[in-house]
Amino acid sequence: MFHHVEPYAGDPILSLNEAFGKDPRTDKINLSIGIYFDDDAKIPMLPSVRAAELKVVAEAGARPYLPMEGAANFRTAVQHLLFGAEHAALKAGRVVTIQTVGSSGGLKVGADFIKRYFPNTTILVSDPTWDNHRAVFEGSGLTVQTYPYYDAATGGLRFDAMLQALSKAEKHSVVLLHACCHNPTGVDLTDAQWQQLLPVLQERELIPFLDLAYQGYGASIAEDAFAVRLFADSGISFLVANSFSKSMSLYGERCGALTIVCPDAGQAVNVLGQLKANVRRNYSNPPMHGGQLVARVLTDPELRAMWEAEVVAMRDRIQLMRKKLFDVLSAKLPGRDVSYFLTQRGMFSYTGLSPEQCDRLKEEFGVYILRSGRMCVAGLNSRNVEATANAMAAVLA
């Protein structure tokens, strides 16, 4: 019956993380998957989220189905987080948000929406982008192409080439943009560059799709939403998929959202209706528990303040690891400019290592980074950072 079903090659990120789990070496170092580990190499249970969970559980009653679009308190809290509670676009009723199964779920529902209403359009993703973007979009039947992004020579951004490519894109192409903490490179647009990009998007009538999975890891919660707010201020229509996996350390709860900013409230009603229809066709409605933790943290002033401080602490610890990596590597490899470890932001850095050098890191030293050269800096800690830097120096020498 199933003889024609071909084997699955596996996912480059999840498979490597699984391989790490099976590696018997006790001194192995996991810098593969995008998860924040604390200085004791543990996934933290944030005290704000723990306190929210105790309250939510104490108050918990029956578990009816949520509506297709998710819980109202979660959706409102997400909108306030993304745009600021007083944003004119919210007051005009032209923003719709649904609770999704992680931001991956938001990307998928958004991709299906695009395919249905812009069936012949192309989605342009950065070169490179998160390994799963192409799979999600192609899975929805969209044609995926790339725009220039990462500059391997400098470890920075090819901003002029990016602008030039987008200024020639077909009308109504969708442009996937990482709102902050670009995955996999850690290379972000500055605020001024976002402002320069906006008129190009407007002129070509392109549809931005912002992926905001690392809010708070680049700068403050509000600063990391700069692109979202800039686009909303400008009046253009766009999509945003956002996640609480990393910012609230809630990976397994799959808490995310898809937001679409529409031209007016009338169109917003129809757009929301079609998102609901898509959810109903796929998984009917989202799960309840995780979203209630998120909503409680975001709306309880005391928990909100705790959480914001916890995000700062995670961000600062990553920054410290970047600095230590830079210090050891620049001392060991004086001829090599490794300052990109300091300028790249968020969980990831593109190390510039070749696939073969990444293989050597894994096999000889037990240091797991993706074969693309992507390293999850958030997996470094005060006990493994020096060993990681030494291993990298050895394979780079």
Q: Looking at residue 350, what DSSP letter applies?
A: E
Active-site option among 115, 211, 307, 362: 211
Which one from 112, 115, 130, 362 is the annotated catalytic residue?
130
**Is the distance from CB of 140 to CB of 289 less than 8 angstroms?**
no
Known catalytic residue at 246: yes
**Minimum CB distance to ligand LMR smaller for 129 or for 330:** 129
**Cβ proximity of 80 and 242 under 8 Å:** no
> To the nearest whole angstrom, how small is the minimum distance from the Cβ of residue 14 to ligand LMR?
7
Which helix (H) or strand (E) covers residue 176, if one does? strand 174-178
State the minimum distance, in angstroms, from the CB of residue 275 to ligand LMR: 22
Q: Which helix (H) or strand (E) holds 374?
A: strand 374-376
Tell me whether residue 12 or residue 67 sits nearer to ligand LMR (CB atom): 12
Strands (E), 179-293: 207-212, 238-243, 255-261
**What is the DSSP pairing of strand 29-30 with strand 367-368?**
parallel
Given the rule CB under 6 A, which residues bind ligand LMR?
13, 33-34, 130, 132, 183
N-term to C-term CA, the chain: 53
Nearest residue to ligand LMR, scored by beta-carbon proximity: 34
Name the strand (E) or helix (H) holding 161: helix 159-166
State how beta strands 150-151 and 156-157 pair: antiparallel
Concerning whether 194 is annotated as a catalytic residue, the answer is no
HSE-CB at 201 with a 13 A cutoff on CA atoms is 23
Q: How far is CA 148 from CA 61, 160, 171, 338, in A?
A: 51, 9, 18, 22
Closest distance between ligand LMR and the C-beta of residue 84, in Å?
Answer: 26
Q: Is 175 exposed, middle or buried (0-12, 13-18, 19+ CB in 10 A)?
A: buried
Dihedral of the alpha carbons of 195, 298, 270, 283, in degrees to the nearest 10: 120
Distances (CA, A) of 322 to 4, 184, 269: 47, 15, 45
Q: How far is CA 60 from the centre of its chain?
A: 30
The 8-class DSSP code of residue 13 comes to H
Residue number, 32 or 330, with CB nearest to ligand LMR: 32
Q: Which of 108, 246, 276, 362 is catalytic?
A: 246
Q: SS3 of 26, please?
A: coil
- What's the alpha-carbon Rg for the chain, to the nearest Å? 21
The answer to whether 242 and 74 are in contact (CB under 8 A) is no
**CA-CA distance, 23 to 31, in Å (whole number)?**
14
Q: Which residues pair with 256 in a beta bridge?
A: 100, 243
Q: How far is the CB of 13 from ligand LMR (least distance, A)?
A: 4
> By C-beta, is 132 or 145 nearer to ligand LMR?
132
Residues with a catalytic annotation lie at 130, 211, 246
